[in-house]
Each structure stands twice: as structure tokens, then as C-alpha cells.
């Protein structure tokens, strides 16, 4: 019997989609939300109340090495767990086609062994869902079948861990069957994988996923995580931190980006490095040490969520957001739209 994640709402803002919750994961200290997750921190002295993301890239060769026993990813994944923290073991399947059932069963076994107390269903490459550049209904259906197989194979071995259902940020035509699978399995924790897309510019897809969940289980009783969130292109020196603003659209915790963003300028020349500015809720464009700045940004964003959390329910979020220079009227309008059209119950 899968373990249950217990979610308790503590307070909310009446104008925007932001709730303060206490989330009790199995065998873990309670997590206070909203919060920012961290990935590969070089320093273990980070602010309190966060989730550690441990990413395992799974390539076709990885599947083969697990199948023939030459690779044991569970040990390498667990070596990156942090003590006294909630560790998400996230398997990112960089595959163009779904493995056959025997190899998928082998991968599922290692994924289960590598996970702490929460089973984060794997993320996938967009090519697994597309024919060329177009989404394929057949491929999405095959993806749903794969996730169902992973879930049911795990349940068959006597699972005592909790599931988090991964949902690619897709139009409703394609995402609805994925969400329905998890709801039918009584999941109450979901991970929205934006695939480096900016959720503001894919608001209908984002809103549709939230609304479908909310119709079956109140958003006040579920845990919503988001990862691979994009931000606006650096056309100017600064860009609004849309990933952080997802917390004002019913996201309880957002994580890092572990997928590659395509397009000109992303794979050539000097790497783009961005520094998060808490005072404005934006990123400024720099050149520098990427790993060091990643750690800085994570620290700054965790501290900012720690600042926001106690304000929820006691101070209008309109006042907080209005003090941030990068949060322009268009952003406020979109956040207001999500809150009004997906009213948390």
C-alpha cells in the first residue's frame, strides 16, 4: 500500500494563488511551503526548510547497463542525498523511445531502490511525446501506458513509499489523460515539468492542469511541485524571475532546471549566467562561474521564500509584489487570472 502524503493548509492570500501549507512526507520532517528546492548545492550550510533534488540522467546506454548489471545507479544517487532533508531522486529519461517491458521493469526496480521515501515518477525528453516538432496523441498514450506500468509494477512489489505524479506542461488535449491516471490512482502530489517553457506564456496549459486536479482534490489538500521553469529571453540586461512567480500560481515548491533549453545562443559562445535579485524579483545577465552563481541563486531564492511564507494570510501579497520592480502589471494580471479561474477549494 503506497504511503500517503498529508497536506494541511495553514493560510492563504485572497487575491493570488498562494497558499501556506505544512506537508508531511513519509519518514521526513514536515516541509513548510511555499519553498524553493535545491540541486547540487556546493555548500551544505543552506537556509532551513528545503528539498534536495538529486537528478539522474538516464540515456539508452544507462538502460542497457542497468539491464546487464554493469551500472548500479541506486548507490550513486543515494550518495548525493543530504542528511535530515527530503531528497527527491529524479530520473530524467533522455530517450527517444520507450524501453521494452523487461528493461522498463529493471529500471523501475532501480528507481525504487534509489528513492528515499518519495517516488518521483520519471521526467522525459520532449522527443518521447512528439513526431518531429508536433505532439503525437499516440506517443502521449504510450507515455501514459508507460507511467501506468511503472506505477502498477511498483505497487505489485509491496510499495510503502509515496508517489509524485509527473505531468509535462502540455495542452489539455494531451495532459488530461496523464492527470486522470494519477487521480485514478489517488495521488495527491504532482510535479509539473515545464520543459524550460515559461509558464506565463503557457498559462492555458498550466491553468488546465491545476483546474483538473482541483476538480477531484482541492488544491489546499495537494502538493504541487514545478521544475524546469523557463524565464523570458535576455533581450535586456534584466529579466523577470517567472520561475519564482510560479509560487503565486498555486505551486508549493519549485526546483531547478536540469533540461537543456534550445534555440540560438544557448549552445555556443560564453555560457549565460544569471543572478537572482531579491529586491526586484528578476535575474540580471552576467558572465561568470555558473556553478557558483547557481548556488548563490538557490540560497537567495530559499531565503526569499522564507520571507514570503509568514506573510501569507497576514499581509496582502499585492503589497509584497507591488514592491518588486520587475513584477509589472502584465505579470500581476496573469497571476490574478490564474487565481480567479482556478479558485482553490
CATH number at residue 75: 3.20.20.105
104-118, 282-296, 312-326: which range is least confident on average? 282-296
pLDDT tens digits, 180-209: 999 999 999 999 999 999 999 999 999 999
- pLDDT value of residue 234: 61
Residues 240-246: what's their mean pLDDT? 96
Task: Count the residues in the chain.
Answer: 345
Cα–Cα distance, 235 to 255 (Å, whole number): 24
Unique residue bearing C-alpha cell 540560497: 299
The answer to whether position 266 is within a domain reads yes
pLDDT higher than threshold 90 for residue 119? yes
Cα–Cα distance, 247 to 317 (Å, whole number): 11
Q: What percent of the chain has pLDDT over 90?
A: 75
The answer to whether position 1 is within a domain reads no
pLDDT tens digits, 53-77: 999 999 999 999 988 878 776 888 9
Confidence of residue 220 (pLDDT cuts 50, 70, 90): very high
Do the beta carbons of residue 174 and residue 129 sit within 8 Å?
yes
The answer to whether position 131 is within a domain reads yes
> Do you find a cis peptide bond into 12, omega within 30 degrees of 0?
no
Q: Is the dihedral of CA 93, 183, 18, 208 positive or negative?
A: positive
C-alpha cell read off for 143 = 507515455
pLDDT tens digits, 258-311: 987 654 334 445 556 889 999 999 999 876 666 678 888 998 999 999 999 999
C-alpha cell read off for 149 = 506500468
Displacement of CA 277 from its chain's centroid (Å): 22
Confidence of residue 216 (pLDDT cuts 50, 70, 90): very high
**Segments forming the whole domain that contains residue 229:** 6-341
- pLDDT value of residue 293: 82
Confidence of residue 44 (pLDDT cuts 50, 70, 90): low
Domains in the chain, number:
1
15-29, 226-240, 243-257: which range is least confident on average? 226-240
Amino acid at each position: 500500500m503506497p504511503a500517503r502524503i498529508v497536506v494541511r493548509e495553514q493560510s492563504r492570500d485572497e487575491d493570488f494563488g498562494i497558499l501556506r501549507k505544512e506537508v508531511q512526507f513519509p519518514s521526513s520532517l514536515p516541509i513548510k511551503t511555499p519553498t524553493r528546492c535545491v540541486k547540487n548545492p556546493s555548500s551544505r550550510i543552506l537556509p532551513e526548510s528545503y528539498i534536495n533534488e538529486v537528478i539522474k540522467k538516464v540515456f539508452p546506454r544507462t538502460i542497457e547497463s542497468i539491464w546487464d548489471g554493469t551500472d548500479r545507479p541506486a548507490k550513486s544517487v543515494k550518495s548525493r542525498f543530504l542528511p535530515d532533508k527530503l531528497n527527491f531522486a529524479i530520473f530524467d529519461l533522455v530517450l527517444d523511445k520507450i524501453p521494452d517491458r523487461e528493461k522498463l521493469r529493471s529500471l523501475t526496480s532501480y528507481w525504487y531502490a534509489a528513492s528515499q521515501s518519495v517516488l518521483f515518477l520519471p521526467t522525459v525528453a520532449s522527443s518521447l511525446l512528439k513526431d518531429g516538432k508536433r505532439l503525437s496523441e499516440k506517443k502521449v498514450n504510450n507515455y501514459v501506458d508507460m507511467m501506468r506500468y511503472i506505477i502498477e509494477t511498483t505497487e505489485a512489489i509491496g510499495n510503502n513509499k509515496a508517489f509524485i505524479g509527473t505531468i509535462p506542461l502540455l495542452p489539455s488535449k494531451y495532459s488530461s489523460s496523464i492527470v486522470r491516471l494519477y487521480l485514478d490512482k489517488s495521488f495527491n502530489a504532482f510535479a509539473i515539468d515545464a520543459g524550460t517553457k515559461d509558464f506565463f506564456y503557457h498559462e492555458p496549459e498550466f491553468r488546465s492542469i491545476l483546474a483538473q486536479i482541483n476538480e477531484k482534490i482541492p488544491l489546499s489538500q495537494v502538493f504541487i511541485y514545478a521544475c524546469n521553469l523557463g524565464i523570458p529571453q535576455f533581450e535586456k540586461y534584466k529579466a523577470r524571475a517567472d520561475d519564482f512567480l510560479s509560487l503565486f500560481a498555486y505551486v508549493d515548491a519549485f526546483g531547478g532546471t536540469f533540461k537543456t533549453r534550445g534555440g540560438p545562443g544557448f549552445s555556443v559562445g560564453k555560457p549565460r549566467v544569471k543572478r537572482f535579485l531579491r529586491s526586484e524579483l528578476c535575474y540580471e545577465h552576467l558572465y561568470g562561474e555558473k556553478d557558483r552563481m547557481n548556488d548563490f541563486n538557490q540560497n537567495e531564492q530559499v531565503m526569499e521564500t522564507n520571507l514570503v511564507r509568514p506573510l501569507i494570510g497576514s499581509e496582502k501579497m499585492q503589497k509584497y509584489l507591488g514592491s518588486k520592480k520587475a513584477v509589472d502589471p502584465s505579470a500581476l494580471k496573469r497571476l490574478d487570472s490564474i487565481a480567479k479561474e482556478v479558485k482553490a477549494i
